[in-house]
């Protein structure tokens, strides 16, 4: 019987795949024309390996937007020395010690928590692979064998192209999809109206503004969206305006979703208490890893808030970890399946290639929960080498 599992080594690998044929990024992002080649110029990831004294390797991923090397430095210079020789089963202790190093220094969001997230996921994977149990078992069991997915996301294009894309989404068996908005109230409403005229009310539509609206415009568009029975209005305004979220959730009946830009239980506490959001969307590779996101989901349940994980442009490692969280959460709502990438002509190879096992695509909009040990996937070292930043 294993009672202790010392951490022998930790490593972090920066991956990058340049996007040569770039689509337009979400236009609601501030300065998107100026910044698109920097923010969306490549697919990026940081993969974390935590090796136990039993030589088993657990894997995790940090959500990575810019400068993967910065995350690697934090992991190797700050987090690795804290954890070497510690017992991997002590997940709470490890998390608090990692967080404690920089808590009073302004690093309670952003890169530092993304670095902790990847390490924490890898520790849970190591525990699961050591005990030959999937992570959902360690988290209290699964409520479901499959999760329902929505197709994410339909980008702005000419109306005919949007309609064609939604037609193919319907053909693939989805009944729910998300539309990127943020071009302005009139144009956004025109797009939603067109979709309702074409597909009626049998399709469930979510909209995502990627923080692109002011409070006033978000109220205006939110009131119009209510007429079209939109399932949720995601990130209407920037994440650093919690009082704005409060105003919106007070004035609008449409459910407000947010959380992909938030970190730790402290950030989410404020998003719930002040922002009063209806649906929470943490990314396990960003918000604090499995240890922290489990707490965030539980806290959400006490507020009556449903959990719809954000997967975004993360690799399959994050998707695998998130399926474990989704399966084991009583307040899980729906899973984000990234049907489109930042470049439709050049899909993200980090999604599948870096793992030996494949997850999805959904069949009739459902994905099965991986039953393998840990998060249920292992690394394809050859693919990792191919995309590693040399
Ligand atoms: Mg979003």
d(CA 380, CA 279): 34
Give the number of domains in the chain.
2
Establish if 69 belongs to a structural domain.
Answer: yes
Q: In angstroms, what is the span from residue 286 Cα to ligand 1's centroid?
A: 14
Establish if 200 belongs to a structural domain.
Answer: yes
Establish if 224 belongs to a structural domain.
Answer: yes
pLDDT digits (tens, 9 = 90+) for 223-281: 999 999 999 999 999 999 999 999 999 999 999 999 999 999 999 999 999 999 999 99
Identify the pLDDT of residue 345. Answer: 74
358 neighbors 370 (Cβ within 8 angstroms):
no
Q: In angstroms, what is the span from residue 152 Cα to ligand 1's centroid?
A: 9
The DSSP annotation for 295-357 comes to HHHHHHHHTT-EE----TT--HHHHHHHHHHHHT-TTB--EEEE-S-S-SSS--GGGTTTBSS
Establish if 390 belongs to a structural domain.
Answer: no
Q: In angstroms, what is the span from residue 348 Cα to ligand 1's centroid?
A: 17
Task: Assess whether 288 and 329 both reside in one domain.
Answer: yes
Q: In angstroms, what is the span from residue 8 Cα to ligand 1's centroid?
A: 37
Task: Output phi, psi for 2, to 5 deg.
Answer: -80, 120
Neighbours of 146 (CB within 10 A): 16
Q: In angstroms, what is the span from residue 309 Cα to ligand 1's centroid?
A: 10
Q: In angstroms, what is the span from residue 85 Cα to ligand 1's centroid?
A: 38
228 neighbors 252 (Cβ within 8 angstroms):
no
User: What integer is the mean pLDDT of 353-360?
Assistant: 91
Cα dihedral: 32, 106, 276, 285 (round 10): 70
The residue out of 114, 133, 152 marking a domain boundary is: 133
| DSSP assigned state of 255 | P
Identify the pLDDT of residue 2. Answer: 67
Task: Assess whether 353 and 210 both reside in one domain.
Answer: yes
Establish if 389 belongs to a structural domain.
Answer: no
pLDDT digits (tens, 9 = 90+) for 8-63: 999 999 999 998 877 666 677 778 788 888 888 899 999 999 999 999 999 999 99
Residues of the domain holding 57: 7-133
User: What integer is the mean pLDDT of 199-217?
Assistant: 95
Task: Assess whether 369 and 331 both reside in one domain.
Answer: yes
Task: Assess whether 88 and 144 both reside in one domain.
Answer: no
Establish if 243 belongs to a structural domain.
Answer: yes
From start to end of the chain, where are the E strands? 7-18, 42-52, 57-62, 146-154, 176-180, 204-208, 233-234, 256-258, 279-280, 306-307, 335-338, 366-368
d(CA 116, CA 111): 9
The CATH number that applies at residue 280 is: 3.20.20.120
Whether residue 78 has pLDDT greater than 70 = yes
pTM beyond 0.95: yes
CB-neighbour burial class of residue 376 (10 A; exposed 0-12, middle 13-18, buried 19+): buried
Record the tokens describing residue 312, joined without a space: 């975004």
The residue out of 82, 105, 133 marking a domain boundary is: 133
Establish if 366 belongs to a structural domain.
Answer: yes
d(CA 18, CA 43): 6
CA distances from 83 to 6, 77, 290, 361 (A): 9, 11, 17, 36
Task: Assess whether 80 and 225 both reside in one domain.
Answer: no
Task: Assess whether 75 and 215 both reside in one domain.
Answer: no
**Around ion ligand 1, which residues have CB less than 5 A away?**
208
pLDDT digits (tens, 9 = 90+) for 112-125: 999 999 999 999 99
Task: Assess whether 127 and 164 both reside in one domain.
Answer: no
The CATH number that applies at residue 14 is: 3.30.390.10
* CB-based contacts of 176, cutoff 8 Å, min separation 6: 148, 149, 150, 151, 203, 204, 205, 206, 231, 334, 365
Task: Assess whether 32 and 143 both reside in one domain.
Answer: no
Q: In angstroms, what is the span from residue 27 Cα to ligand 1's centroid?
A: 13
The residue out of 133, 161, 191 marking a domain boundary is: 133
388 neighbors 352 (Cβ within 8 angstroms):
no
pLDDT band at 331 (very low <50, low <70, confident <90, very high): very high
Task: Assess whether 96 and 146 both reside in one domain.
Answer: no
Task: Assess whether 101 and 193 both reside in one domain.
Answer: no
Comparing 94-103, 109-118, 223-232, 344-353, the range with the smallest average pLDDT is 344-353
Task: Assess whether 246 and 187 both reside in one domain.
Answer: yes
Task: Assess whether 154 and 205 both reside in one domain.
Answer: yes
Establish if 386 belongs to a structural domain.
Answer: no
Identify the pLDDT of residue 313. Answer: 84
């Amino acid at each position: 019987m294993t009672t202790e599992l010392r951490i022998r080594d930790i490593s972090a690998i920066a991956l990058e795949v340049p996007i040569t044929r770039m689509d337009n990024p979400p236009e609601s992002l501030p300065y998107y024309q100026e910044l698109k080649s920097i923010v969306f110029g490549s697919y990026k990831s940081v993969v974390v390996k935590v090796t136990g004294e039993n030589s088993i390797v657990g894997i995790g991923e940090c959500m990575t937007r810019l400068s993967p090397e910065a995350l690697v430095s934090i992991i190797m210079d700050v987090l690795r020395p804290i954890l070497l020789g510690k017992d991997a089963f002590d997940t709470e202790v490890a998390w608090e010690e990692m967080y404690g190093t920089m808590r009073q220094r302004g690093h309670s969001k952003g890169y530092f928590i993304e670095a902790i997230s990847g390490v924490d996921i890898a520790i849970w994977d190591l525990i699961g692979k050591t005990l030959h149990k999937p992570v959902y078992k360690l988290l209290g069991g699964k409520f479901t064998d499959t999760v329902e997915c929505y197709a994410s996301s339909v980008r702005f294009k000419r109306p005919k192209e949007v309609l064609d894309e939604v037609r193919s989404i319907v053909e693939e068996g989805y009944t729910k999809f998300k539309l990127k908005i943020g071009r302005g109230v009139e144009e956004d409403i025109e797009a939603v109206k067109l979709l309702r005229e074409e597909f009626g009310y049998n399709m469930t539509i979510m909209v995502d503004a990627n923080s692109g609206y002011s409070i006033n415009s978000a109220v205006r568009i939110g009131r119009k969206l209510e007429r079209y029975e939109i399932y949720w209005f995601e990130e209407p305004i920037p994440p650093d305006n919690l009082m704005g979220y409060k105003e919106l959730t007070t004035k609008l009946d449409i459910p407000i979703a947010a959380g992909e830009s938030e970190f730790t239980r402290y950030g989410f506490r404020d998003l719930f208490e002040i922002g009063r959001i209806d649906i929470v969307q943490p990314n396990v590779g960003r918000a604090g890893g499995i240890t922290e996101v489990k707490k965030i989901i539980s806290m959400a349940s006490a507020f009556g808030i449903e959990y719809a994980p954000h997967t975004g442009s993360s690799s399959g490692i994050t998707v695998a970890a998130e399926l474990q969280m989704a399966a084991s959460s009583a307040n899980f709502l729906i899973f984000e399946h990234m049907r489109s990438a930042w470049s439709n002509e050049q899909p993200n190879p980090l999604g599948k290639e870096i793992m030996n096992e494949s997850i999805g695509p959904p069949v009739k909009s459902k994905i099965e929960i991986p039953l393998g040990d840990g998060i249920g996937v292992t690394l394809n070292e050859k693919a990792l080498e191919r995309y590693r930043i040399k």
